[in-house]
A and B are shown apart, each in its own frame.
Chain A
Amino acid sequence: MSDEIVLDVQDVAKTYRVGFFRKRVDAVKAVSFQIRRGEIFGLVGPNGAGKSTTIKMITGLVRPDRGQVRIFGMPSTRVAARARMGFLPENPNLYPHLKAGELMRFYGGLLGLSRKESDARAERLLEQVGLGHALDRPISKFSKGMKQRAGIAQALLGDPEFVVLDEPQSGLDPIGRREIRDLVVDLRRQGKTILFCSHILPDVEDICDRVTLVHQGQVRETGYIHELLNPDVLRYELFARRWTPELTDTLGDRVLQRFDIGEVSRVDLRGDIDLEETLALIASAGARVESLQPQKQRLEDVFIRDTSDTTETSEARP
């Protein structure tokens, strides 16, 4: 990763006016962050947090009321900036009357590619996203997952250095999700910089280097994943056989909770216990430990902590 700033979002704000009485809706109040070259940067937040509006300001679809967005040092409204960027919108709607090959040719034309170059890139990209077999199939006959893949292919058609993916895993099954995750990692290997906006927090945690958490139109936290997460063990999750109520009494407040599932007991132990001593006590009571998993803080925990200070989760969209 280099220090070159690919995306610089500086204190942007956006207010929409909705309804007959032009009621003000503050979609974004103050959002700032920077993305460096080669990064996979996560943008997370609950529904209505202002993520999509922020992304639309980045892609030039919405003009900020305040602040500025610069891509490769240029305002995002400049064509030259957008020429180096690829964008997959949330739930992409593509032209249903076109076949996949025609769709890619259309987007190739918008990128200024020659037909030959566009066709060659389209064939390779559709193959890469698993749509190589559907080149001659109309988009209207595509499943939601196939549309998502075609959307990703159009975002990558211009071989962009910076890729913005808004909910790229929306509507995909676990295998599809995994494939998109692998594709994003692969894009980084190719040297691309990625802004990854998703509700699937385990994936964000797994693949992103840094994350910005947005809530109610404002940035709550920005940082490297390892900085945001507490490295300490919060609790241990233990599965054991021959667990007795007496053993629970012996362990006292070390046990947070216990559930018996047939012959197997699931026991949650506090994270700050002396593990060696506790395991010795369990063994001496005749219980057999079958699995022991230390549980650390997840991005989901940070997300819930930072967004649970208010009950307002309404969509702040126009």
Chain B
Amino acid sequence: MIRTLRQIDAFARNALLEGLRNKVLYAVLVAALAALGAASAFGALSLHQEERLFNNLVFAIGHLFLVALAIYQGVNALHREIDSKTIFTVLSKPVTRASFLIGKFMASVGILTVCWALMFGAKALTALALGYEVGALHLATYAGSLMQLVLVLALAFFFSAFSGPLLSALFTFGLFVVGSLTPQLADASRQFANEGNPLHLILDATLYVIPDLEKLNLSYELATGIEVGWGYLVHALLYTGVTSGLLLGFGYLIFARRDFA
């Protein structure tokens, strides 16, 4: 147990050092913060809707940057180890493939959380400087964003357990889009069902399988000021944990059978 914890700690520290010394990560963060600044200025141009526009725009831009970062980190975390063959010196140690996968995932979650905190912190500071309110609803919205990022990361890990980085990125992005459109897909399914179109069976199956990312998107609540209860957040956290666990579990089943030649 102690060995496993030390291994996960080693993976996390290594990934964090890699992240801190990776210029790409800084470039993405700087670009995201610049976009946040631009969004803040754009909000100021709107008529009496400054705060709402600021909240919506800054959240949407920041979240999309973080999703891109989650996909980048998720598809590269395993691929870099395999491609650069550093995996040879890792998996020949007393490290199980499960520990490796979990260690890399936890490390990636750590990096994403740091970036998320920077983004949220920058947004909160800007909002306070502009005299806007920053409260529990903001925190809940951004907590939902972080949970969505963890799910996107788990999807990227799942795909990169058996495919290359480009395909993994495409699959993950595709599922992010589909997973964000679950209410629309449900509507379409109902419509097809009413029309007797068998396509609704496919849509129902899709809705059953894909992670429902829209459940974690609380931007509407933020924009309209609808309170989000703790119960909902706990439920969302459980959903994120179980779905991520399942994705990593399925990813592990494939990863455990892979040869590293």
Is A110 a contact of B260 with CB atoms below 8 Å?
Answer: no
Give every chain B residue within 8 A of A98 (Cβ-Cβ): 14, 17
Is A60 a contact of B92 with CB atoms below 8 Å?
Answer: yes
Question: Which among B3-11, B39-47, B51-59, B156-164 touches the partner chain?
Answer: B3-11
Give every chain B residue within 8 A of A113 (Cβ-Cβ): 6
The smallest C-beta distance from B83 to any residue of chain A, in angstroms, reads: 9
A153 to B115: give the CA distance in the assembly, Å: 34
Is A109 a contact of B86 with CB atoms below 8 Å?
Answer: no
**CB interface residues, B 217-261, toward A, < 8 Å:** 257, 259-261
Instruction: Name the one of A63, A79, A109 contacting B13, with C-beta atoms under 8 angstroms.
Output: A109
Q: How many of A's residues come within 8 Å of B, CB to CB?
A: 41
Is B91 a contact of A61 with CB atoms below 8 Å?
Answer: yes
**CB interface residues, B 57-107, toward A, < 8 Å:** 84-96
A113 to B5: give the CA distance in the assembly, Å: 11
Question: Which among A86-94, A217-225, A297-305 touches the partner chain?
Answer: A86-94
Interface of B is mostly: helix
A189 to B75: give the CA distance in the assembly, Å: 45
User: Are A97 and B86 CB-contacts (below 8 A) given A59-B92, A79-B94, A112-B6?
Assistant: no
| Nearest opposing residue in chain B for A99, CB measure | B17
Could you mark each residue 1-41 of chain A with 1 if its beta carbon is under 8 Å from any beta carbon of chain B, else 0?
Answer: 00000000000000010000000000100000000000000
Could you mark each residue 161-205 of chain A with 1 if its beta carbon is under 8 Å from any beta carbon of chain B, else 0?
Answer: 000100000000000000000000000000000000000000000
Q: Is B2 an interface residue (CB 8 A)?
A: yes
Q: Is A154 an interface residue (CB 8 A)?
A: yes
Q: Is A281 an interface residue (CB 8 A)?
A: no
Instruction: Name the one of B3, B13, B17, B86 contacting A112, with C-beta atoms under 8 angstroms.
Output: B3
Is B260 a contact of A56 with CB atoms below 8 Å?
Answer: yes
The smallest C-beta distance from B212 to any residue of chain A, in angstroms, reads: 36
User: Are A56 and B10 CB-contacts (below 8 A) given A82-B92, A92-B89, A94-B86?
Assistant: no
Residues of B at the A interface (CB closer than 8 Å) are 2-3, 6-7, 9-11, 13-14, 17-18, 21-22, 84-96, 257, 259-261
